[in-house]
């Protein structure tokens, strides 16, 4: 069964991907702006939140479509590889958000340690996949997604 799942490429219409991830970035941007600086900072925080939302989507698609088919079919190997990809992807996405903030001359209250991007992104993905599992969709937890 795992071999059958590994052969299926994960794809989604770009329009649906953009709509979901931009909406998520706008919501997260609004929450951060409310906490740190008010409505004037909403566009900047939303732009920065595109890194984990839209960029994070592509980290997972890369794992599912490129790396997973090249790994051993063993469930433990698949689990560890995905967690490592999420952690490294989170570090890269946090760095991208940091560079973007510098480029737009936005100085957020405080940047966290680099490794928190990896832990944070991994945590976000684990919660998102738990929601998928609860809805009966393929997820990290059941080995189908």
Tell me the residue range of the domain where 11 lies: 2-134
Q: Is residue 83 part of a domain?
A: yes
What local confidence, expressed as pLDDT, does residue 2 receive?
Answer: 45
φ/ψ of residue 74, rounded to 5: -60, 130
Tokens at 38, concatenated: 């008010």
Q: Distance between CA 91 and CA 33 in Å, rounded? A: 22
Query: Look-up: residue for tokens 């957020």?
Result: 108
DSSP state of 109: S
Residue 139 inside a domain? The answer is: no
Q: Which residues of the chain have pLDDT under 50?
A: 1-8
Residue 140 lies in a domain: no
pLDDT of residue 9: 60
User: How much is the pLDDT for 4?
Assistant: 44
Tell me whether residue 141 is in a domain.
no
**Model's pTM, two decimal places?**
0.86
Q: Is 36 left (phi over 0), alpha (psi -120 to 50) or beta?
A: beta
Q: Does residue 13 sit within a domain?
A: yes
Q: How far apart are CA 23 and CA 45, in angstroms?
A: 13
Domain count, the chain: 1
Query: Does residue 37 lie within any of the structural domains?
Result: yes
Cα-flanking dihedrals φ and ψ of residue 13, to 5°?
A: -60, 135
Is there a domain that residue 144 lies in?
A: no
On whether residue 52 sits in a domain, the answer given is yes
């Amino acid at each position: 069964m795992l071999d059958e799942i590994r052969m299926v490429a994960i794809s989604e219409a770009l329009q649906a991907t953009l709509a979901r991830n931009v909406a998520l970035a706008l919501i997260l941007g609004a929450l951060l702006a409310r906490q740190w600086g008010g409505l004037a900072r909403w566009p900047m925080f939303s732009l920065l939140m595109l890194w984990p939302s839209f960029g994070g989507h592509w980290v997972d698609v890369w794992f599912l479509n490129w790396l997973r088919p090249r790994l051993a079919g063993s469930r433990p190997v698949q689990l560890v590889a995905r967690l490592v990809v999420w952690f490294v992807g989170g570090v890269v996405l946090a760095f991208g958000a940091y560079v973007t903030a510098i480029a737009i001359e936005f100085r957020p209250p405080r940047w966290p340690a680099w490794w928190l991007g990896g832990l944070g992104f991994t945590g976000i993905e684990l919660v998102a996949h738990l929601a998928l599992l609860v809805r009966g969709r393929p997820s990290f937890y059941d080995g189908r997604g």
